[in-house]
Amino acid sequence: MQDVIRLLPEALANQIAAGEVVQRPASVVKELLENAVDAGSNDIKLIVKDAGKTLIQVIDNGKGMSETDARMSFERHATSKIASSEDLFAIHTFGFRGEALASIAAVAQVELKTRRAEDEMGVHICMEGGKLETQEPISTPEGTSVAVKNLFFNIPARRKFLKSNPVELKHIIDEFQRVALSNPEVSMVLYHDDNEMFSLRGGKMAKRIVSLFGKSYQEQLYPCQEDLEVMSIGGYVGSPDAAKKTRGDQFFFVNGRYIKHSYLNHAVMTAYEGLLPEGTFPFYLLNITVDPKDVDVNVHPTKTEVKFTDERTLYALVSAAVKQALAGYGVAPSIDFGVDVNFAEELPEVSKREIMGRGTSSGSFNMDFSIPSKEEQTAPSFGRPEYIENTEDNSSEEVVTRLSSRINNWDEEAAPSAMSKVWEQQDPMFNMDSDNFPDENVEASPTITFSSRANELDEVQQEEKETPIEKIEPIQIRNSYILYQVKSGITLLDQEAAHERILYERFLQEINQNTGVSQKLLFPRTIELSPADLLLLAEYKDEIKALGFSLEIKEHSKVVVNGIPAIIHNSNEEGVLEGIIEQIKHNRDTLQLSHGETIARSLAKRTGIKKGQSMETAEMRSIIEQLFACSNPNFSPEGRKTIVLMKMDAIENLFQ
């Protein structure tokens, strides 16, 4: 029988090893930047073209290499940092396994130029697919320049699975930021397609954080420091008020090496317990200094996962350090745990506004998506139907009669014909033809009819079809749920989930049909975003434009807002845009959605009615009506239930 086990060719073995080390262009950036730091550089330039697919070049002013060392650096398991097994437990540098350059050279075309201070001439080496092409002397500045061209040129399958340029560039920026944060004393510059994205001068950590993430971080950073004999923690934590709905601004470093550690992250979140809004994550940057023999960094190919010999002590130290930092700056608020806000006698009043009717005889109401100012945040008003005028006694018949009269005159008073056509395209319910409005002289109560789609839905929708909404008197429970009766029992509706479903389908239709209406701003607003957020905005610009946003992306991470969707009134443009970006990040991390679905979900989540928001009777009816006109009224875009039906039989059983 013939032998079947054989040695792999060296080129194939290098390609297999490269699969662990080089997963995407950002992996190359990480390895080259860490090598530059290990070389003692204090000035590093990163040049990227085509999101790293065409060129990744790192230029440093480090100590350089001799001709022999330069050639040996491309051999597998060749390193200057490990000589014996004992050295594995005294690692203070980044790269030490001798696989980075060999793996990169196996899947790309690599050009290396390097010179030591004591040498008159440097060395120039060209590698292609793991093979040496040329090696010759060259006149070059002190330090090292490594240019990686045409990544995965010899593995088309790997290159085909790379993401779009904005996505790959986002990963490159992440790696650049991590190295920059762990080495604030090093000046670093990033160029992409000949455009300068970052120019960071060496200095203090706080200045480096502000340079990377924006001036808004200057007001929210609190120093954090805790020292023990065996380990210490230093860095900064962010204000709870500035916490975001997405992860990404959380950084752990161990002896200057970036790591991911869920156990230590839990320690930080424990320190913030009771201070953060639900579903938000604070900024923190913590550098743990510990004896190298007490930490194992060689448990993962990318070295982002580590093990500690005493994780319990470290957990307690991290939690205590963060708590002390927050308490020392008076961040922790005083909370009266003896008061139940659900039964407070005095609640903030919500100003009632006149409703502007846009609907048919069914009594559907237009939503006003305005973002509240900081003073109004106790009673948010964005994403709500307009309020009816305050009267001492508003019976349902009076509401409908008065609304019908107002609707008949609305077209003459305020509605341009062009806007009417847009609303008709977006939703057949918004038909501005006055023939469809109820006659004031007719004394019969108007009834609501639903589209034929309702016949295909579940029993809850059938009950809605049989029971006109005008005859229902919905009740709001704790400003979160809407309770109303149907023929066979009672129905409970989640106002937040229901409104998100309504808005999601409307926004998705606008994106698909490009029917979003924009209202120009009297004074264009300039917003400064981080480079990563700017890339994300550029990736989704077509879908955002289809909703009615008019944006102009400028250099140096600035965006000029010239117009916003017409359905958003009196809003904080910066808050809306940043909220959409944060929600996009959240959806991208957890779901695989099209750009249109992602944007529609993001804006619906941002502008929808929230739990705890008081509603008038007419508003609740509008929500009920519009929900059952949706294609999938039973669930929110995130899959949460919107409606629960309890039949009379079940209710009667509760009392037997």
pLDDT for position 588: 66
534 pLDDT band (50/70/90 cuts)? Answer: confident
pTM above 0.75, yes or no: no
Which regions of the chain carry the CATH code 3.30.230.10?
Answer: 211-328
pLDDT of 235 above 90: yes
Q: Which of 6-10, 141-145, 161-165, 232-236 has the lowest mean pLDDT?
A: 6-10
Counting residues of the chain whose pLDDT is more than 70, the rounded percentage is 70
pLDDT of 278 above 60: yes
pLDDT for position 463: 52
80 pLDDT band (50/70/90 cuts)? Answer: low
* pLDDT tens-digit map of 91-120: 555 554 457 888 899 899 999 999 999 999
pLDDT for position 572: 67
Round to whole Å and give the CA distance between 308 and 273: 25
DSSP string, 547-604: HT-EEEE-STTEEEEEEEETT--S--HHHHHHHHHHHHHHHHHH----HHHHHHHHHH
Mean pLDDT over residues 400-410, rounded?
Answer: 44
pLDDT of 362 above 70: no
Mean pLDDT over residues 525-536, rounded?
Answer: 80
298 pLDDT band (50/70/90 cuts)? Answer: low
Task: Tell me how far CA of residue 328 lies from CA of 80, 332, 514, in angstroms.
Answer: 45, 9, 52
Round to whole Å and give the CA distance between 647 and 24: 56
Residue 645 in contact with residue 459, Cβ under 8 Å?
Answer: yes
pLDDT of 333 above 80: no
Mean pLDDT over residues 431-458, rounded?
Answer: 41
pLDDT of 400 above 50: no
543 pLDDT band (50/70/90 cuts)? Answer: confident
Distance of CA 15 to the CA centre of its chain: 34
Residue for token pair 């990404």:
248
pLDDT of 193 above 50: yes
Greatest Cα pair distance in the chain:
102
Question: Residue 508 is encoded by which pair of tokens?
Answer: 């998705």
pLDDT of 52 above 90: yes
Question: Residue 262 is encoded by which pair of tokens?
Answer: 């869920």
Mean pLDDT over residues 381-402, rounded?
Answer: 40
Other C-beta atoms closer than 10 Å to the C-beta of 123 total 23
pLDDT for position 458: 52
User: Which superfamily does CATH assign the domain made up of 10-202 to?
Assistant: Histidine kinase-like ATPase, C-terminal domain (3.30.565.10)
pLDDT for position 612: 87
Phi, psi dihedrals of residue 479, rounded to the nearest 5°:
55, 30
Counting beta carbons within 10 angstroms of the beta carbon of residue 621, is it exposed (0 to 12), middle (13 to 18) or buried (19 or more)? buried
The pairing of strands 143-149 and 55-60 is antiparallel
* pLDDT tens-digit map of 553-588: 776 678 888 888 876 765 666 777 777 787 777 666
* pLDDT tens-digit map of 583-617: 777 666 555 677 778 888 878 887 788 888 888 88
Q: 450 or 629: which carries more pLDDT confidence?
A: 629
pLDDT of 358 above 70: no
pLDDT of 374 above 50: no
Structural Rg of the chain based on CA atoms? 31
Q: What are the residues whose beta carbons fall under 8 Å from the beta carbon of 79, sequence distance 6 or more? A: 95, 96, 97, 98
Round to whole Å and give the CA distance between 443 and 439: 9
Mean pLDDT over residues 441-457, rounded?
Answer: 41
Question: To 5 degrees, how large is the angle CA 591–CA 592–CA 598?
Answer: 80
Residue 598 in contact with residue 584, Cβ under 8 Å?
Answer: yes
Q: 499 or 353: which carries more pLDDT confidence?
A: 499
pLDDT for position 5: 82
Mean pLDDT over residues 529-539, rounded?
Answer: 80
In the three-class reduction of DSSP (H, G, I as helix; E, B as strand; rest coil), residue 537 is classed as helix
In the three-class reduction of DSSP (H, G, I as helix; E, B as strand; rest coil), residue 415 is classed as coil
89 pLDDT band (50/70/90 cuts)? Answer: low
Q: Residue 222: in which H helix or E strand, if any? A: strand 221-227
Which regions of the chain carry the CATH code 3.30.565.10?
Answer: 10-202
pLDDT for position 412: 42
Question: Residue 514 is encoded by which pair of tokens?
Answer: 């490009």
Q: 608 or 271: which carries more pLDDT confidence?
A: 271
217 pLDDT band (50/70/90 cuts)? Answer: confident
Question: Residue 236 is encoded by which pair of tokens?
Answer: 């900064």
Round to whole Å and give the CA distance between 552 and 74: 45
pLDDT of 472 above 70: no
pLDDT of 41 above 50: yes
Counting residues of the chain whose pLDDT is more than 90, the rounded percentage is 26
Task: Tell me how far CA of residue 571 lies from CA of 34, 73, 519, 574, in angstroms.
Answer: 44, 57, 12, 9
Q: Which of 79-83, 252-256, 340-344, 552-556 has the lowest mean pLDDT?
A: 340-344
pLDDT of 394 above 50: no
Measured distance between the N- and C-terminal CA atoms of the chain, rounded to whole angstroms:
80
* pLDDT tens-digit map of 408-441: 444 444 333 433 333 344 444 334 343 433 444 4
What's the chain's average pLDDT? 75
pLDDT for position 555: 67
Taking the domain 211-328, which CATH number applies?
Answer: 3.30.230.10
Strand ranges (E), 297-450: 307-308, 367-368, 384-385
Strand ranges (E), 346-479: 367-368, 384-385, 475-477
